[in-house]
Structure 1
């Protein structure tokens, strides 16, 4: 139970509403696109978003809506949930909720995220309810998700790929998923954190009207040391769909940003990210953040070719303007030079490393 003084302060609180957002533009130069190489790259619209936070007494709201171009899925809700605060350390969230798995909130530093994002294991959001406890030494979260973003409310209708985070789409649907995350803070400052995450749920197949299952387990560690930050994750994943005859159980389909692709049903992932912050006084630029984020996807199916991602970059902070300058390289990576459809599933043993030089400029308000 929370103290009387704290409870009284909450009762006296008036309704609050905070609005924010961002407008971003992107320059891109890709090694595998001849038209970009001939033109010297392309510069265009990335995304506009609106954020809303509201609170009254112990009840609060957190929502974010994003608007991309039609080619990248158009407009959709990234997150949106209502919360209740039991005390300063305990909360309950319900709605389109952040999934408690791995390093919060990002297992990366760059604009592309790490390879975990492209398999639904970083900055994921699903429909459910979550309880969080944040203590001085221990943090934990327990969650139940009825399903991923459901836009059609039809059991025999495939999920849309117009969503922010990657989820299972196609003839299978995520349902009845449980998540547990435990975090131990080492030392006295909380800047050295060791964690364990687990999730288990069902996969409903439209064709067979049966439920398979899926699970993921992760060990993760994050360390802040002086101006450095280090993130490490080890993950194992298995999807076991009950597909119709003739459909491979070694491949699932995942989707986001308006387009689905194939992913190996069973794999391990290993990631390591390092960054260093340097304060400067260069006109409006006050801070530089140098980083390198590496990810490796080890596929368990014999004959599949593994996938890699590495991003080296700098984040420049100038007031409310944040600029990511990234050199992103990928091998059998759908967004970095592959044929998109099966890079994260069967892959191509004859593939080459491809790279994308990217500058993302955003004004956040």
Structure 2
């Protein structure tokens, strides 16, 4: 174990030195303030090391992920494309389009966005400051990217309002699964070996979000309070019927100088019109399918503090998160807790996270984790990543 740790440290140092020697060029053309606009290329390359309590086969440094962004900004329009690829067994054996949208700036506060984009549910795209994400991501309510149109306006001086309509989900891309090669968790076609063969599609998703920012005499203080609501159709392709998906979330963000707290909580309920399995549906993401309990409460609490300009290192951010999916009925609660730290130095990034999961399909669990759960035993994952941003 000591040898593996030493070897991992040397490999990380080699990666760090290589990236440090790299040149982070400004990969852009044009002027964002002009009518013609600016086109910019960015992204990252990331390596990882994992030590799992439920497996001894992953204690090695491997390629983790790559991201490519193409951004367009002008005085009238904006656009964004994000594509990611990941490695499980070989390079980019799973990859997916995350975003692909265009937008129009009506005025300084109002804009319309059309295409594949993050849905305005909860406090933002991410509800926490860590790299791995919370359990609500697998439930399909956080960091969800679907196809539609969203209108954002500033109703009052400090109140942002989003109104969105998303007729279809984000789609299936490159992977080995039947329908789960997706960045976002959606309802999917069951794999042939799935015990539940009912095929669901979520359509006509209506989303509303209101977020109010409070004003303080001391600019070091910041606070906001908001809520969002989700209503959609669940098309049961197997039984030719239509159910509903309803969800709501309340959230608050508090800050003082470089200290930040984000709290999110809510409830969702799925009526899947499945006479055989009314309490369970088949969902999928990241090239794996899983079963999902159709009703439950969800919670996320995140805390972080950023130390800026720490000597020659740069920015250091320690953080902690608690997230849970408390299912209705006799199903076991799924939880994921993270303690970690991130270090940012110029175009380099490093994270070290200790992740604890109970009835968590990604932390020692399986496809049943988000329904009846597993053995209710806490599993552990130490994950370290090193990334080069360009």
TM-score by length of 2: 0.83
Q: Tell me which residue corresponds to 1:336.
A: 363
Q: Which runs of 5+ in 2 are unaligned?
A: 1-30, 190-198
What whole-Å deviation, never above 9, does each CA across 1:212-254 have from its counterpart, x for those lacking one?
11011011001111221000011101011012x43x1111122
1:65 aligns to 2:83 (yes or no): yes
Q: Equivalent of 2:382, from 323, 332, 357?
A: 357
Q: Counterpart of 1:118 in 2: which secondary structure? A: helix
1:194 aligns to 2:225 (yes or no): yes
1:52 aligns to 2:70 (yes or no): yes
What whole-Å deviation, never above 9, does each CA across 1:152-197 have from its counterpart, x for those lacking one?
9xxxxx9821111111213101100100000111124582110000
Q: Tell me which residue corresponds to 2:179.
A: 160
Equivalent residues of 1:150, 1:159 under 8 A apart:
no
1:276 aligns to 2:305 (yes or no): yes
Equivalent residues of 1:278, 1:289 under 8 A apart:
yes
Instruction: Tell me how far apart the structure 2 counterparts of residues 287 and 142 of structure 1 sit (CA, whole Å).
Output: 35
1:105-116 mapped onto 2 (5 Å cutoff):
105-116=125-136
Equivalent residues of 1:10, 1:58 under 8 A apart:
no
Equivalent residues of 1:178, 1:200 under 8 A apart:
yes
Q: Tell me which residue corresponds to 1:205.
A: 236
Offset, 1:35: 3.1
Offset, 1:18: 0.7
Residues 213 and 73 (structure 1), Cα distance of their counterparts in 2 relative to 1, 3 Å cut? farther
Instruction: Tell me how far apart the structure 2 counterparts of residues 328 and 105 of structure 1 sit (CA, whole Å).
Output: 21
Q: Counterpart of 1:117 in 2: which secondary structure? A: helix
Q: Equivalent of 1:19, from 22, 30, 41?
A: 41
1:346 aligns to 2:375 (yes or no): no
Residues 281 and 185 (structure 1), Cα distance of their counterparts in 2 relative to 1, 3 Å cut? closer
Instruction: Tell me how far apart the structure 2 counterparts of residues 191 and 105 of structure 1 sit (CA, whole Å).
Output: 19
Offset, 1:69: 2.5
1:178-257 mapped onto 2 (5 Å cutoff):
178-188=206-216, 191-243=222-274, 245-246=275-276, 248-257=277-286
TM-score by length of 1: 0.89
1:321 aligns to 2:351 (yes or no): no
Instruction: Tell me how far apart the structure 2 counterparts of residues 342 and 94 of structure 1 sit (CA, whole Å).
Output: 35
Q: Tell me which residue corresponds to 1:5.
A: none
Q: What is the root-mean-square deviation in Å for CA atoms of aligned residues?
A: 2.1
Q: Equivalent of 1:144, from 159, 165, 169?
A: 165
What whole-Å deviation, never above 9, does each CA across 1:91-113 have from its counterpart, x for those lacking one?
10000011001111311111111
Residues 80 and 102 (structure 1), Cα distance of their counterparts in 2 relative to 1, 3 Å cut? same
Larger displacement relative to structure 2 (137-146 or 107-116): 107-116
What whole-Å deviation, never above 9, does each CA across 1:296-326 have from its counterpart, x for those lacking one?
21100x2211111100000111111111110
Offset, 1:282: 4.2
Instruction: Tell me how far apart the structure 2 counterparts of residues 136 and 32 of structure 1 sit (CA, whole Å).
Output: 51
Equivalent residues of 1:73, 1:161 under 8 A apart:
no
Equivalent residues of 2:233, 2:243 under 8 A apart:
yes
Residues 73 and 95 (structure 1), Cα distance of their counterparts in 2 relative to 1, 3 Å cut? farther
Instruction: Tell me how far apart the structure 2 counterparts of residues 290 and 359 of structure 1 sit (CA, whole Å).
Output: 14
1:95-110 mapped onto 2 (5 Å cutoff):
95-110=115-130
Instruction: Tell me how far apart the structure 2 counterparts of residues 49 and 35 of structure 1 sit (CA, whole Å).
Output: 26
